[in-house]
Amino acid sequence: MGKKSKDKRDIYYRKAKEQGWRARSAFKLLQIDEKFNILSGVTKAVDLCAAPGSWSQVLSRKLYLNEEIDIKEPTNLFYTEALTQVQTPATNESKKNENVKIVAVDLQPMSPLPGVIQIQGDITKYSTAQEIITHFEGEKADLVICDGAPDVTGLHCMDIYIQAQLLLGALHITCNVLREGGTFIAKIFRGKDSDLLTNQLLTLFREVHVAKPKSSRHSSIEAFVVCQGYFPPDGFDPKLMTPYLEVSNKDFSTLEGINRVIIPFIVCGDVSAYDSDTTYPLQLKGEGPYEYRAPVQPPIAPPYSFKPEPTKSDIDQFLKKIDEAAKRVGLGLGA
Ligand code: SAM
């Protein structure tokens, strides 16, 4: 494949290189911001699953370096220069917003960025949440973003499941570090449980939207949940989610009050009804022995119903008709 062919095929890949973004994903965050205005007034932000760092670049440029970014602008030489020097040039020193704190987390190490503190860690661990909190010195974040993705296997169900676990890790960290009223953005893989996910998030946020920015390929099942106005119910303790995220044998019976309801719902979906895709044993727990019952009202004239066997007189009548027809054309059956 020629050097230019990917540039030709993917406009965002080409524009990312022109404008000095580490990855084309930068446009996804910029377009989400364009629509939902998520960066306005933010001084403390967390970027989960941040490497190679294009979303952190957006935070660094817009929040820390106070830059106006025009998505359509072809180049930004100042920032390219700032990146190579890591230090911001002296002429722009006054533009820096020192109140801004940006914490970026990833399993992978990532090159430094102006105004971004980096943690190399796993977002499914509570210890990572604790480390983030220490950087905010007791204060909470205005915004948590997560573009996390596992290495996809190509098996949709498996990929959606692993992505959901990553999202749960991100949500758990968010509930521990986000201030009330704050915003959470995360990548999801759209599947049959997208509605359930929206409802789970609506227990914690005033508004939840599923966004598909133009720069996210149509062929990809990726989308982004934009959750605004964090408002956890009174008495909700997100720390209690930890044991249920980290062990497979989940026993929610020890939880009390609102946590007895909300934690099972967030961690493993609705626990109050049977799952229509699961095969259950005929004898259900807590119910008597299974007993077959005929359908309450079978269909009156189903298309699959068959006619009764033909009688002897039906057959004689049929043979007579054939005989008459044969005689008409001068054949006769000769019986
Ligand atoms: N938003 C990034 C950007 O704009 O450059 C791109 C993120 S990339 C699509 C997904 C990242 O998720 C990878 O760097 C991967 O290391 C990270 N990741 C996957 N699982 C993780 C986990 N459990 N904890 C932390 N990072 C994780």
- How far apart are the C-alpha atoms of 327 and 189, rounded to whole Å? 73
Most ligand 1 atoms within 8 A of CB, residue of 28, 106, 159 to mutate: 106
Residues in the chain, overall count: 335
Can you tell me the ipTM of this complex? 0.99
Q: In what helix (H) or strand (E) does residue 78 lie, and over which residues does it extend?
A: helix 77-85
Distances (CA, A) of 284 to 240, 272, 275, 291: 30, 15, 13, 12
pLDDT in tens, the chain (335 residues): 566 777 777 899 999 998 999 999 999 999 999 999 999 999 999 999 999 999 999 999 999 999 988 776 544 444 443 444 444 444 466 678 989 999 999 999 999 999 999 999 999 988 998 999 899 888 999 999 999 988 888 888 888 888 888 999 999 999 999 999 999 999 998 877 788 889 899 999 999 999 999 999 998 889 999 999 999 999 999 888 887 776 655 677 778 888 888 888 888 775 566 766 667 889 887 889 999 998 899 888 877 776 777 788 888 998 898 888 888 887 765 54
Atom of ligand 1 nearest to the CA of 55: 4
Strand order in the sheet with 116-120: 116-120, 101-106, 44-48, 141-146, 178-189, 222-230, 205-211
**Domain chopping of the chain, boundaries:** 26-83+94-260
Q: Global pTM?
A: 0.78
321 catalytic residue (yes or no): no
- How far apart are the C-alpha atoms of 243 and 132, rounded to whole Å? 19
From the CB of residue 312, how many other CB atoms can be counted at a distance below 10 Å? 7
**Cα of 148 from ligand 1 centre, angstroms:** 4
- How far apart are the C-alpha atoms of 191 and 214, rounded to whole Å? 20
Q: CB–CB of 102/116 below 8 Å?
A: yes
Atom of ligand 1 nearest to the CA of 23: 5
CATH homologous superfamily, domain 26-83+94-260:
Vaccinia Virus protein VP39 (3.40.50.150)
